[in-house]
């Protein structure tokens, strides 16, 4: 073959290849979904209902071709016609035709294996699984980078609010100073119902479960674990640190009573369950606990299943992101947004994509996470004190010996213990370590019944 003929043949081959690639890029993107519960069904519905708008945005149609579930006979909240159903999720991550795997099973065991297998097979992954990202994200992102695929997780934090994209991209010019979020819909729903209607904790929790807001194990919601997962992710993308779930201080809302909700109201506050992360000179505060926040603060008015995240950046100042934090369609909104983003990046160079954790993987910082004992705060404390002379004097003596000054001390309603009353104290700012010592000593007084309850006051 002459040189000219060989060049012509090469040119024809390139044209055929390019036509095939172009053709492939006009075909719908094939998606396999793992899990068809609340979020899985919502995702199928949103993809179906908004198909044209989504295609116009992504440049290609997105088709769900396969779904994995446990019970094939169970009635579903979405149309499964034209979708191949399987009880073997590995058959989907190993299916060569599928371009993107959407993990909506939850948990950290099988979900981790499935996601790593999908990545190893060169598939992009979308997940709503905050537990998976908080515990195994460092490993998963390293594998994704190695295999040149995207792992997108917008739905993992604050349901339908595009908070990951906002911090990772919209605030990329800022040094983030702190963020505070109401990021568990179930807890916020419970606290709101207690505050507005005086309803019972257990009854409202069961309602939140029926509405599909709660985790498979609802103790993850009410004990703060779910917020800790989400805060781990937010702190990582805000401060450029690795995911460090084990270093988050976590407290849930189980000990909050109707009385505390009502005393907070009387003192000009609302009780909200917050995830809070802040840069300090000594390191980064990462804490999850119920908080008193001023009724003047916008976050105090975020009610029901709604979530909100307040972020302070040095250039922009404060920005607030608000929306539905759980539920089928709001969460599906974020899952589908990730799918559109993945489809848009299918043809981009994998080295030049937005980094998974906002900062370049080799530029993450080793700033330490502070222990809760090193944190300083204003505190609300409530105790049941025997209703007789001298008991309060002993309490105030302990506080004064530890240099804890008080903003207010109030004797409230009669307590459950005979001859005891509820006493409420608001302190000035004090190191947590000193307050712990004070609480230990107050609980040991003979005139004090049961444990002292403490809620941190957060000034935003």
Which residues make up the interface to ligand NDP (CB under 6 A)? 35-40, 68-71, 74, 89, 104-106, 110, 128-129, 155, 159, 212-213, 215-216, 326-327, 331
Task: Name the residue among 75, 13, 18, 453 with its Cα closest to residue 253.
Answer: 453
Q: What three-state secondary structure class fits 140?
A: helix
Q: Which is nearer to ligand NDP, 166 or 262 (CB)?
A: 166
**Mode of pairing for the β-strands spanning 176-182 and 269-280:** antiparallel
End-to-end, the C-alpha distance of the chain in Å comes to 77
Residue 186 binds to ligand HSE (criterion: CB under 6 A): yes
Q: Is 226 in the site for ligand HSE (CB under 6 A)?
A: yes
Check binding of 312 to ligand HSE (CB under 6 A): no
Tokens describing residue 77: 């909240």
Contact by Cβ (8 Å): 274, 280: no
Long-range CB pairs of 120-125 (<8 Å, 24+ gap) are 120/147, 121/93, 121/94, 122/147, 122/148, 122/149, 123/93, 123/98, 123/99, 123/149, 124/99, 124/100, 124/149, 124/150, 124/151, 124/152, 124/342, 124/346, 125/100, 125/101, 125/149, 125/150, 125/151, 125/152
Nearer to ligand NDP, 222 or 300 (CB): 222
Nearer to ligand NDP, 22 or 75 (CB): 75
Question: Of 153 and 213, which has the nearer Cβ to ligand HSE?
Answer: 213
Q: Choose the contact partner of 38 out of ligand NDP, ligand HSE, none; CB within 5 to 8 A by kind.
A: ligand NDP
Find the catalytic residue in 130, 165, 230, 272: 230
Q: How many residues bind ligand HSE (CB under 6 A)?
A: 11
Query: Does 223 interact with ligand HSE (rule: CB under 6 A)?
Result: no
Partner from ligand HSE, ligand NDP, none binding residue 71, C-beta < 5-8 Å depending on class: ligand NDP
Output 182 or 439, the one with its CB closest to ligand HSE: 182
Q: Which does 186 bind (CB under 5 to 8 A by kind): ligand HSE, ligand NDP, none?
A: ligand HSE
Stretch that binds ligand HSE, among 9-17, 99-107, 183-191, 273-281 (CB under 6 A): 183-191
Burial of 39 (0-12, 13-18, 19+ CB in 10 A): buried
Residues 120-179 that bind ligand HSE (CB under 6 A): 159
Instruction: With CA atoms as reference, report the closest residue to 38 among 216, 227, 219, 189.
Output: 216
Q: Residue 131 contacts by C-beta under 8 Å, 6 or more apart in sequence?
A: 106, 107, 108, 220, 225, 226, 229
Cβ burial of 26 (10 Å; 0-12, 13-18, 19+) is exposed
Q: Strands 406-414 and 420-427: what pairing?
A: antiparallel
Distance (Å, whole) CA 302 – CA 351: 40
Instruction: Enumerate helices (H) and strands (E) in the chain, giving the number of each.
Output: 15, 17
Whole-number minimum distance, CB 109 to ligand NDP, in Å?
A: 9
Cβ closest to ligand NDP, residue 209 vs residue 437:
209
Q: In whole angstroms, what is the distance from residue 25 CA to residue 402 CA?
A: 69
Beta bridge partners of 176: 313
Residue 101, binding choice from ligand HSE, ligand NDP, none, Cβ under 5 to 8 Å by partner class: none
184 binds, among ligand HSE, ligand NDP, none (CB under 5 to 8 A by kind): ligand HSE
State the Rg of the chain over Cα.
26
Residues 192-211 interacting with ligand HSE (rule: CB under 6 A):
none
Report if residue 103 touches ligand HSE, rule: CB under 6 A.
no
**Residue 214 in contact with ligand HSE, rule: CB under 6 A:** yes
For ligand HSE, which is the closer residue by CB, 240 or 275? 275
Contact between 326 and ligand HSE by CB under 6 A: the answer reads yes
Question: Is residue 230 flagged as an active site residue?
Answer: yes
Provide, rounded to whole angstroms, the least separation between the CB of residue 391 and ligand HSE: 41
Q: Applying CB under 6 A, which of residues 153, 178, 213, 239 lies at the interface with ligand HSE?
A: 213
Q: Which residues contact 45 (CB under 8 A, 6 or more apart)?
A: 77, 78, 79, 328, 329, 332
Stretch of residues binding ligand HSE (CB under 6 A), selected from 22-30, 137-145, 182-190, 311-319: 182-190
Q: In 59-161, where does DSSP find H-type helix?
A: 89-93, 110-120, 130-147
Neighbours of 124 (CB within 10 A): 27
What is the distance between the alpha carbons of residues 134 and 119, in angstroms, rounded to a whole number? 18
Tokens of 107: 């948990």
Which segment (26-34, 109-117, 213-221, 427-435) binds ligand HSE by CB under 6 A? 213-221
With CB atoms as reference, the residue minimizing the distance to ligand NDP is 37
Select the span of 50-58, 184-192, 273-281, 382-390 touching ligand HSE (CB under 6 A): 184-192
Binds 74: which of ligand HSE, ligand NDP, none (CB < 5-8 Å by kind): ligand NDP
By CB under 6 A, is residue 221 in contact with ligand HSE? yes
What residue ranges bind ligand HSE (CB under 6 A)?
159, 184-186, 213-215, 221, 226, 325-326
Catalytic amino acids? 230
């Amino acid at each position: 073959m002459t040189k000219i003929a060989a060049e012509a043949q090469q040119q024809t081959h390139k044209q055929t290849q390019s036509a095939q690639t172009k053709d492939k890029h006009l075909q719908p993107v094939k998606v396999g979904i793992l899990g068809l519960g609340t979020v899985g069904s919502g995702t199928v519905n949103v993809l179906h209902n908004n198909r044209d708008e989504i295609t116009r945005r992504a440049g290609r149609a997105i088709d769900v071709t396969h779904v994995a579930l446990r019970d094939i006979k169970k009635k579903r909240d979405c149309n499964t016609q034209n979708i191949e159903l399987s009880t073997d999720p590995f058959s989907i991550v190993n299916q060569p035709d599928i371009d993107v795997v959407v993990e909506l099973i939850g948990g950290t065991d099988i979900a981790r294996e499935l996601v790593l297998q999908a990545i190893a097979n060169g598939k992009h992954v979308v997940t709503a699984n905050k537990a998976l990202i908080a515990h195994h994200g460092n490993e998963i992102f390293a594998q994704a980078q190695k295999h040149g695929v995207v792992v997108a997780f917008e739905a993992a934090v604050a349901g339908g609010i595009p908070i990951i994209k906002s911090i990772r991209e919209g605030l990329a010019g800022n040094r983030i100073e702190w963020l505070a979020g109401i990021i568990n819909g179930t807890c916020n729903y419970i606290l709101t119902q207690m505050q507005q209607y005086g309803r019972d904790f257990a009854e409202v929790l069961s309602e939140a479960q029926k509405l599909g807001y709660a985790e498979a194990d609802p103790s993850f919601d009410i004990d703060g674990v779910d917020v800790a997962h989400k805060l781990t992710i937010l702190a990582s993308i805000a401060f450029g640190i690795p995911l460090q779930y084990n270093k988050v201080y976590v407290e849930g809302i189980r000990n909050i009573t109707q009385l505390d909700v009502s005393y907070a109201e009387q003192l000009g506050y609302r009780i909200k369950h917050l995830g809070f992360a802040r840069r300090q000179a000594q390191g980064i505060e990462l804490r999850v606990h119920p908080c008193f926040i001023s009724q003047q603060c916008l976050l105090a008015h975020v009610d029901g299943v709604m979530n909100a995240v307040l972020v302070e950046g040095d250039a922009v100042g404060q920005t607030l992101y608000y929306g539905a934090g759980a539920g089928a369609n709001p969460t599906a909104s974020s899952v589908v947004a990730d799918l559109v983003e993945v489809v848009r990046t299918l043809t981009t160079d994998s080295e030049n994509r937005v980094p998974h954790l906002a900062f370049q993987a080799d530029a993450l910082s080793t700033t330490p996470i502070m222990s809760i004992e090193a944190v300083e705060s204003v505190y609300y404390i409530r105790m049941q004190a025997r209703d007789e002379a001298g008991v309060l004097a002993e309490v105030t003596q302990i506080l004064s010996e530890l240099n804890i000054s008080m903003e207010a001390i109030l004797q409230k309603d009669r307590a459950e213990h005979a001859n005891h009353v509820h006493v409420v104290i608001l302190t000035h700012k004090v190191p947590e370590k000193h307050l712990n010592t004070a609480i230990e000593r107050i609980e040991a007084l003979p005139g004090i019944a049961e444990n002292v309850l403490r809620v941190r006051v957060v000034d935003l």
